[in-house]
Structure formats: structure tokens, C-alpha cells
Structure 1
Amino acid sequence: MSDNPLSPKPDRLDGLFSERQIVLPLTVAALLTLALSLTFLHFQDPASLPLGLNRYLGTGYCQFMIAIFILTLLYAALQYLGLQGERHRLRQRFDPRAARRNSRLRDWILYLSGRGPQDDDLPAALQDGSGKTRRREDLLHLRDDLLLLRSQQHQHNFAPIGFAIWVLPLLGFIGTVIGITQAIGGLEDSVDPSADGSGLGGVLGGLAFAFDTTFIGLVLVIPTMLSLLILRARAQKLDMVYYRILLDRLFCDTAD
């Protein structure tokens, strides 16, 4: 344990930086994606879909890429709802004009997003430190350090989305290599005099697979990047709420 009198208590820091905020929503999103995928495969035959959809949903590789996309969107939605619930909880705690209403649905959303009651202890951690010193410079440094922890928590929470933004185009390019390899193999069969003419079908099938996987990877990454931008904007707004609360408590403590 640190000997610095300004260091918040360990139980406070557990609420400021939590692995649960990434593990729990990622697990929930993965289970929901698995359930949706199995339901789709059970009740819907990809071969019965229109030709445009069948090209992308009829191959296991494209289905895997779409599953990663759905998982990422569900994870981003849980993070967004968690930020919204966290902001609402802050308003209820510090805004006297806010209505004090408890909602089981909101509590469940906060839980599924990995946010527990201890995650709103940032002002309390500042109060712990402010009670141990009267130097305003030390209080300002403590405030900045705690807000830095908030920023690191956001980067930690958004890491799976950044990984999806990186991996979706990469999977598309890997599919391109696989498809071109298949096309080259079919081209060899098409020029073989003893072949039965199926080589041309292999060439076209390989090229179609290559272009389809590249198209899927590039298209799916666009809404994924948009979701990350929305989350970052929401997180910045929440940090501004924290900043205002900490600033108010700082001046209240120094005035006393």
C-alpha cells in the first residue's frame, strides 16, 4: 500500500478501474450472438434466401465475420447503456432537482454493462484525499489523477471495438487470399484437357468468394467505427459531468 496520504483507499480504486466493465458485457454479447446465430441457422435455410443475401449468408466464413460484427454491436450497445445509466445515477446522487426513482430495468442494464454500486466512488475518493490535506495544489493533482483513471477505463472498455475495427478488414483480406487461391486451382483444372469442364466453375467460385469476403469486411467496419465514435462522444460527456462534480466538491472542501 502506498504511503502517500493523498492515495485513495484500495476499495475506492477497485470501483474506479474495473475489469468487470469489459468482461461481463463481452460475455453477455457473445452469448446473445451465439443464441441469435443458432436461431437463424435453425429456422432459416440460407439457400432459401434471395440471391443477394445467399451470397453472403450462405458461406460459413462470411457468417463468422457477420457474427463478429453483431457481437461488437451488442457490446457497444451495452457500453452505451452503461454510460447512460452511470450518468443518470450521478444526477440522482448529486443533482437535487433530479427525481429519485429506482428502476429494476436500469439496475439490470448497469449490471450487464459491468457497472456496480462501487463504480460511482470517484467523488468519494476525492473526498477521502481532500480530508487529508489543505493544500489546493495537492487537491488539483488528485482530481487530475482520478480523471485520468476514468479516461484509462474508457480506453480499456472500448478495446474490443477497436480490435473488431482492425480484424474485420483483415478477415476480408484473408478471404481474398483464400478465394484467389481457389480460383488459381480451378484455373489449372480448366486448362487440363482431361478435365470435365468444372474448372471454370471453380475459378468463378473462388473469385466470388474473394470479392464477397473483402466486401463484407470493408462494409461492416463502417458502422463499427461509427459505434466507437458515438461511445467516445458519450464518454467525454460523462467525464465532463464527473469534472463538474469534482470541481464543485473541490471548492466546497477548500471553502470549509
Structure 2
Amino acid sequence: MSHSPRQELEVSIPLVFTLATVLTGVIYAIFLERRQTYLGTLLYDRGFTQVAVVFFAGIVLSFTILKFVKLQREFFALRENWVAVDLDWHDPQSPLLFRLQERLLADGSAIARRCARAIAAYIHSGNRKAAAELALDDSSFYLSASESSYSLPRILVWAIPLLGFIGTVIGISQAVTGFSGFLEEAGEIDQIKEGIGTVTSGLAVAFDTTLVALFLSVLVMIPLVLVERFESRLLLAIDIYLNDRLLPRFKDSGTPLENEQLTQAIDAAIARHLPSPEALIDPARTYAERAAEVLSQTFIAQLNTVQTQHERLIEKLDNLQEKTLEERQAFELSFSENEENYRQAIADLITEINGTYRKVSAEMEAGNRAIAQNLIQQAEKIGDRLEHASKSLDSRIALLEKSKTNIAQILELQERLDKNLRSISRDGHIEAVLEEIREHLAELKPLLKQLNKPRRITLVETEDKIE
């Protein structure tokens, strides 16, 4: 079977489908006579999804088996010695090297073809670097091809449980439909039994399809993962073989020649396009002399200008210093002339301030004395008036107490008269006398009430003398 480049580890998809179809047919043929068993019931009586699940599992299993066979063959090929020791590896154009490359290319194993491609790169380039780069590219291509080759089985492993869930949905739908029909037609015992059988068969389909799908997905996924890891180890072993046993034999002879050629080309370009150093010295010397002359003349002119400005500045500073000295002397003279006048004015001002202070102090003392005497006199007058008012108040209080005593005696007398009158009225002898006494008492009552009223005493303070 022919392969495209870098696809030595690929598995033929038509062959995989053929093997899966044969495997599915064999399984169903084996259980055809055993349909009454549990496994036969799972395969034949649980819907079309079981066939699809078994077929998908057969595809994954066939792919895994074919892949494992190829990888095992490559591991056996890796144990052989593909690198001849007696060859002249330092000569990329050696006929023996050409024949070795053709023999390796004709071999169908991945290790032989990778060695052949590395040798071909060494023959065409003549250095080890190009061969190493091609070997690295080969490794990347093989890894990518390995990843892509597992796309189909991974999809199928993912799809197998989904088919089981689809069967579950179909079974539950059948059970629900049968149960609803059973409720509508349930009338006799036989009909009830038949309806219950329909419901249970639908539930059996629902759970059995999921069971088979999950079991087969686990069954085919584990070998697939192991084979994928086995292939990764094979690719790593091939890379190690190339780096350790083939590439070190190549001679890296291209770099010194290239460096020498590059140096010669640079020297030739410099000699062709640039003038000689002798041709550049005279113009440079002339230019330097002219530049130095112009620079010296310019420097001298600038120096003269700076010197002139400096002399002018010094002259201005001298004039300013003379004016400052004259103004200072004039100020000192004026200050010495006016110093005596300033002292006399200050002494007069101090004398005037002292006189004013004494005068103000005397006036304040006299005013304070007059105010104090006036306050003392007013206090004495107020004391006399308060004492006189106190005596008058005491006399009036005594009169009030005496009036109170008289009123109490009058009230007591009235009470006694009332008692006597009551006793006399009980005796009934002198009614006329009593009538007269009552009239006199009636006349005395207003006076007694007037005397019995409370009195208010008000003290009024005036500026007039008390007589």
C-alpha cells in the first residue's frame, strides 16, 4: 500500500470501515441464535441505535488494532541499524551515501524514510545545519499528522454515548405513549396486562440502550488512549535516534567557506568603491589648515570685542563707585548737623509728657475724692431713712397686733351672746329683750366685718424729710 510523504503511520479509513462492518455482522450473527438471552435481547430488541452503537464501536476498535500493528512494526524497525559506520560521511557527494539514501527511501518504515530525508538534505546542502532543520520540520509534521489521525475515533467515542441517550429518549417516549393508550383502553384484565407490558418494554429500551452505549464507549476508549500514547513514544524515539546517531555524523563544512567568501567579497567591494587612504590625506590636510586659519581669525575678533566690552564695564563700575562715595559723605554730614536738634526735641517732648502726666494724675485724684465723699453722704442719708422707716413699721405692727386682740375679744363676746340668746330663746321669757339685742348686734356686724378684713402696709421712700 502506498503512502503519501510523512504518512507512514496513517491507517486506511476504508479498511477500518470494512473491518467494522465485518465485526458488526459477526457479532449479530453470533447472537442470532441466542436472541432469547440477555445479550441477544440487548442487541436485537432495543431499537436501531444499538446497531449504530456497535458499528461505531467496531470502527474505533478496528482503528485501534490497525494503528497498534503499524506502531509495533515501527518499533521493530527502530531496533535495526540504519546508519552505516564504514561510510565517508564527510563527503556529501559520496556515491555510497547516495545509494544509502535511495535504499532507505525505498523502505516503508517511518524511521528509514526520515533518515533518508535527512541524508538527502545533507547531500544537497553539504552541511549539517540544513539536515538538522529538516529533521526538526519532519518531527513537527509527524506530530501534526498523528494528532489529526485520531480525529475520527475521538468523534466516534464521543458520539457513542449520545446514541445511547437517543435510544433512552426513544424508549421513554414509547413508554409514555403506551401508558397513555393503556389508560384510555383499560377495561379488562387482559388489556391492563398488555398495556403494562408495553410500558415496561419501552422503559427497558430506554435504560438498555444507555447501558450498552456507555459500556462500549469505555471499552474502546481505553485502548485508543493507550495506542495514542504508544505512538507519541515512537515519535520521540525516532527523534532521539536521528539526533544521537545520524546528525552527529554529518560534517558541518559550509560555515568556514561561507565566512571566507564573505570576507573576500567585502574586501573587493571596499577596494572597488572607496578611494585609497593616500588620496584622502592631502584634501583633508588642506581643509584642516583652512579651517584652523578661519577659526583663529574668528576667535581673535571675538576676543577683541569681549575685551572692549570689559573695559567699558570697568569704567561704568568706577563711576558708580565714585557717586556712591559722594552720596555717603553727604548723608553723614547732614546727619551730624541735625543730631543736636534731634536730641533737644526729644528732651522737650519727654518733659512735656511728664508734666501732662502729673496734671492728669492730680485731676483724677481730686475727682475720686469728691466722688467718695458724695457716696459716703448719700449712704448716711439712706441709713437714716431706713432706720426711721423701721421704727414707723414697728409701731404700726404693734397697732395691728392690738387690733387683732380686740377683734378676737369681740368675736368671743359675740359667741357668748349667741349662746345666751339661744338659751333665753329656749326659756321663752324675755323675747322682746332678745329682739332688741338682735337689732343692736345686726348693727355691730358690719363694723366687725370691716375690722376683721386683712390689712396691707406699703412703705414709700421719698426725698422729703420725715416730720
Which TM-score tier does this pair reach, normalised by the shorter chain? 0.7 to 0.9
Q: Which has the higher contact order (CA 8 A, sep 6+)?
A: 1
Moved more, 14-23 or 122-131: 14-23
Deviation at 1:66, TM superposition (A): 2.4
The answer to whether the Cα contact below 8 Å between 1:185 and 1:202 also exists between their aligned partners in 2 is: no
Identity of aligned residues (%): 22
Equivalent position to 1:253, from 230, 242, 250 = 250
Q: Which of these two proteins has the greater Rg computed from alpha carbons?
A: 2
How do 1:13-92 residues align onto structure 2 when only pairs under 5 Å count?
Answer: 14-17=4-7, 21-23=11-13, 25-37=15-27, 39-40=29-30, 44-47=33-36, 49=37, 51=38, 53-59=39-45, 60-61=47-48, 62-92=50-80
TM-score if structure 2 supplies the norm length?
Answer: 0.43
How do 1:92-103 residues align onto structure 2 when only pairs under 5 Å count?
Answer: 92-94=80-82
Q: CA RMSD in A?
A: 2.9
- Which SS does the other structure have where 1:16 is aligned? coil
The answer to whether the Cα contact below 8 Å between 1:164 and 1:224 also exists between their aligned partners in 2 is: no
Task: Report the Cα distance in structure 1 between the residues aligned to 2:125 and 2:12, rounded to whole angstroms.
Answer: 34
Task: Report the Cα distance in structure 1 between the residues aligned to 2:118 and 2:171, rounded to whole angstroms.
Answer: 57
* Alpha-carbon distance change, 156 to 29 in structure 1, aligned in 2, over 3 angstroms: farther
The answer to whether the Cα contact below 8 Å between 1:175 and 1:214 also exists between their aligned partners in 2 is: yes
Task: Report the Cα distance in structure 1 between the residues aligned to 2:25 and 2:177, rounded to whole angstroms.
Answer: 37
Matched to 2:249, the amino acid is C
Structure 2 residue aligned with 1:9: none
Matched to 1:45, the amino acid is R
Work out the number of aligned pairs and report it.
Answer: 222
The answer to whether the Cα contact below 8 Å between 1:176 and 1:211 also exists between their aligned partners in 2 is: yes
Moved more, 222-231 or 148-157: 148-157
The answer to whether the Cα contact below 8 Å between 2:157 and 2:217 also exists between their aligned partners in 1 is: yes
Task: Report the Cα distance in structure 1 between the residues aligned to 2:28 and 2:198, rounded to whole angstroms.
Answer: 30
Deviation at 1:133, TM superposition (A): 3.0
The answer to whether the Cα contact below 8 Å between 1:177 and 1:210 also exists between their aligned partners in 2 is: yes
Matched, 1:209 2:205: yes
Unpaired runs of 5+ residues, structure 1, are 1-11, 97-115
Deviation at 1:234, TM superposition (A): 0.8
1:50-98 CA deviation, whole Å, 9 max, x = no partner? x3x23422335324422332332132112101100111123224389xx
* Alpha-carbon distance change, 245 to 174 in structure 1, aligned in 2, over 3 angstroms: same
Unpaired runs of 5+ residues, structure 2, are 85-106, 254-467
Task: Report the Cα distance in structure 2 between the residues aligned to 1:29 and 1:236, rounded to whole angstroms.
Answer: 25
TM-score if structure 1 supplies the norm length?
Answer: 0.74
